A and B are shown apart, each in its own frame.
Chain A
Amino acid sequence: MSARGVVLAGVGGQGVVLASAVLAEAALRSDFEVKQSEVHGMAQRGGAVVSHIRYGETVASPVVPLASADVLAAFEWAEALRWMPYLAPRGALVVDARRIVPPGACKDHRTWGVPYPAMDTATVAHRVADVLLIDASGIAASLGNPKTANSVVMGAVSRFLDIDDVAWEKAITRFVPPGTEELNIAAFHAGQEAGSVRPEAIPDLGLDPIQQRSYRIEVDHSWCKDCGICPTVCPEFCLAMDHAHRLVVVDEAACIGCRLCEALCPDFAIRISVGDPAVVSGGAP
């Protein structure tokens, strides 16, 4: 058997590293050779965490090559998309239907929202054999401890791997915090049973539509004295002075509605109004 590859991806605090230790241990107990490597630079601060596990008769490299993971298990949707290139063309994708916006994500200054990719399995379905979008966090919470979501995910992952339940249970018992073994094993089995969900069925997904606002810039040329102040303060270079030193609106589409031009126009001559919004991301899948 050639080595099998699994990529686990999530953000700091979700238990990605623990889940990968469980998988590595379970594979070892099934008499495979196992290699594992992980990257968790900003793990404590909600940064991306990814772990590669390869197991089989013999394993050379600990790193899963691009487009060759049998299973990609993601603990939230954006991380699933981020690591998609590692999934083999006919691989299985397991995703906890959660949305975690990285704290480092800049707010988009045109929408005042954080653009987050729409949670739509159709966008990836053509590339994978199986997509399992499960409500792992919801299942874990209903079992009594939302922190066991990683065990729920691993339960779902186990459906695609040749490792028996006994090995999994022993591995879980070895690594989870003392006192939570039963709960995690229950969560694992719940994950084995979990069916795909439709994202809109999960409350608290925060799939609020993000709207791209548009703005209209109106200059009353009979009031404007072409003083040149507004082009120097506009952060988006929407305004400019032409060769005859006349004010021209050069890029209305770039306007973010900051109204700095309004506040600093000495002649009450420039007006910004909000145009019709358009949904650019998020929203019901």
Chain B
Amino acid sequence: MGLIQEISEYLQKGRAKNVKALVQQALDENLDPKEILNDGLLSAMMIVGTKFKNNEVFVPEVLVAARAMNAGLSVLEPKLVEVGNEPVGKAVIGTVQGDLHDIGKNLVVMMLKGAGFEIYDLGVDVDPAVYIDKAEEVGADIICMSALLTTTMPKMQDCIENLKERGLRDKYIVMIGGAPVNDSFCEQVGADYYTPDAATCAEVAKKVVLEKRAAG
């Protein structure tokens, strides 16, 4: 088995120490950092995400895999900077105001990272305006909002209205999700995309960011 393949296997099993050591070894052997990233770490994380979506693995398995990915990334990142690896895009994410559920949001963070995004995680209980301030500050492509309560979902609309008031609605792709959210709510509040799970969120995010960039 090749080194890259081995990294991928260990990541899927959530073995942070092994992943970290193997990424170091791969760098020592002068393997291409981008290949280590894409074929070793990120694609493995996507495999875990897909299994999660299909109920083959559960939250703990995704979290330990994500820890392993982060362990690998910590070794790899300085090298990636050296070779000038660009992220797919930048995403600002948080759980909406009044809501503290963050397990799902954190999984979305991990999958977006797995898809190659640079992530700005605002945590929980995020004021609608704060998403926008952060997006402006970092030059984000996407704003992602998570809500798990029917009573906090309206905050998503507040953020979108706020975007409109500030004349920024078309500048950002707005994605929303969380247990009570669905397609018709997405349409009703004027968000761009809803997906029911984290893996699909990452796929869609990547696709639309690349499309938007291609369209100029």
The judgment on whether A and B are partners is: no
| B interface residues, Cβ below 8 angstroms from A | none
| A interface residues, Cβ below 8 angstroms from B | none
